[in-house]
Amino acid sequence: MIELVNITKKYAGQEEPAVKGLNLLVRDGESCVLVGPSGCGKSTTLRMINRLIEPTAGTVLIDGKDIRETDPDRLRMGIGYVIQQIGLLPHRTVAENIAIVPRLYGWPKDKIRERTDELLELIGLDPETTRHKYPAQLSGGQMQRVGVARAMAVDPPIMLMDEPFGAVDPIARNHLQDEFLRLQSVMRKTICFVTHDINEAIKMGDQIAILDRGELVQHGSPLEILSNPANDFVCDFIGYDRVVKKLSLCRAGSISRKDFCLIRESELPAAAKKMEEQRAEVSFLVDGKGVPRGMLTAKWLKDNGSAFTPKELKALASQGHKGFIQEDTLLRDALSLLLELDLDYLGVLKGETLCGAVSMADIRQYASGKEGD
């Protein structure tokens, strides 16, 4: 647990403090993303946690203990630290770089070697080929991974990350973020993460703390912040697509409805009647194996009455044959598909089988709903 109590930092020769009376709590196993425009004090705040910068006033507590009671070098050995520029030692091999902190702890050679290989495998690099390489021989993404591995070498409970994925291209960044989330879901480290990119904050953070000119403007979960931005600054910072961003926090399975019915090809002429009986707005056409082939909505049938031959009905239904998503699809992507196919409903699949339906109206309701609705 990291607790910042009334932290203020004023640099010598500057009128305005870089950080003003900041209070923040990061619970165990939780990641908190400090986000804000450049110069908002987010990096300063992070560096006050490992005493690379000493606050002018206020206290930092780690697990309830004032960090000033610990020797700064000792304190830093116990906290993983990753920076944007990575800072791998260019004259040391990958393995030697990862071994820095274990060596400071005086681990025996065998144990260091074992741990190094384990970490290289964890971050998806082949120990045999990578171990003896120098940083200059790695790609940007690989260096960044080694940087993360180095910070995790002694398995510290706390990690401080200052724009750790800022220096790589967008595709590699996305990949590294996903990988890190996967690792974090197992490791459950207490993480303080700094970024200027709100999308990264939404993706990486259990909690987001938005800073502006040294002050904490809003602190909450991504959903809270996207649903109830505290003020205009937060709104502007999030951007015009706030609602669409919110849609990326929710998966289709969690808002899907169950009032749909399944029809087989032979039942097509009676589809309208069956839907009415089951009070379903939408029905999905399935083949003999239960694999979805198309859909019919109550609206389509109503607009055209019973003027359809079974053949026409089948053609109508198969217009929606692409309108199926997996239950873990993000609502944002579901919305995109709805717009692309010009449909009102999407079938939600669990593997091959239908488990629900999502409509345009459902997404609209989720998007406009405030937290707690």
**Interacting residues toward another protein by CB under 8 A:** 50, 52, 73-78, 81, 83, 85-92, 100-101, 104, 134-137, 147, 150-151, 160
74 versus 370: smaller Cβ distance to another protein: 74
Taking the complex as a whole, the smallest distance from the CB of residue 248 to another protein amounts, in Å, to 32
Taking the complex as a whole, the smallest distance from the CB of residue 116 to another protein amounts, in Å, to 15
Taking the complex as a whole, the smallest distance from the CB of residue 343 to another protein amounts, in Å, to 51
How far is 95 from 351, CA to CA, in rounded Å?
Answer: 42
Taking the complex as a whole, the smallest distance from the CB of residue 225 to another protein amounts, in Å, to 29
Taking the complex as a whole, the smallest distance from the CB of residue 135 to another protein amounts, in Å, to 6
How far is 230 from 226, CA to CA, in rounded Å?
Answer: 10
Taking the complex as a whole, the smallest distance from the CB of residue 75 to another protein amounts, in Å, to 7
How far is 134 from 354, CA to CA, in rounded Å?
Answer: 51
Q: Cα(first)–Cα(last) distance of the chain, in Å? A: 30
Q: Are 242 and 221 in contact (CB under 8 A)?
A: no
Taking the complex as a whole, the smallest distance from the CB of residue 156 to another protein amounts, in Å, to 10
How far is 110 from 107, CA to CA, in rounded Å?
Answer: 8
How far is 60 from 45, CA to CA, in rounded Å?
Answer: 10
CB atoms within 10 A of CB 129: 10
150 versus 203: smaller Cβ distance to another protein: 150
CA-CA-CA-CA torsion sign (103, 106, 112, 118): negative
Taking the complex as a whole, the smallest distance from the CB of residue 187 to another protein amounts, in Å, to 19
Tell which residue, 262, 222, 248, has the closest CA to residue 334: 248
154 versus 244: smaller Cβ distance to another protein: 154
- What one-character DSSP code corresponds to residue 369? P
89 versus 339: smaller Cβ distance to another protein: 89
Q: Are 358 and 345 in contact (CB under 8 A)?
A: yes
47 versus 219: smaller Cβ distance to another protein: 47
CA-CA-CA-CA torsion sign (278, 357, 341, 286): negative
52 versus 61: smaller Cβ distance to another protein: 52
89 versus 235: smaller Cβ distance to another protein: 89
Taking the complex as a whole, the smallest distance from the CB of residue 167 to another protein amounts, in Å, to 10
Which amino acid type is present at position 166?
A: G
DSSP 275-326: HHHHT-SEEEEE-TTS-EEEEEEHHHHHHHTT---HHHHHHHHHTTTT-EEE
90 versus 288: smaller Cβ distance to another protein: 90
Find the farthest-apart pair of alpha carbons in the chain and give their distance in angstroms, rounded.
Answer: 83
81 versus 366: smaller Cβ distance to another protein: 81
Which amino acid type is present at position 358?
A: V
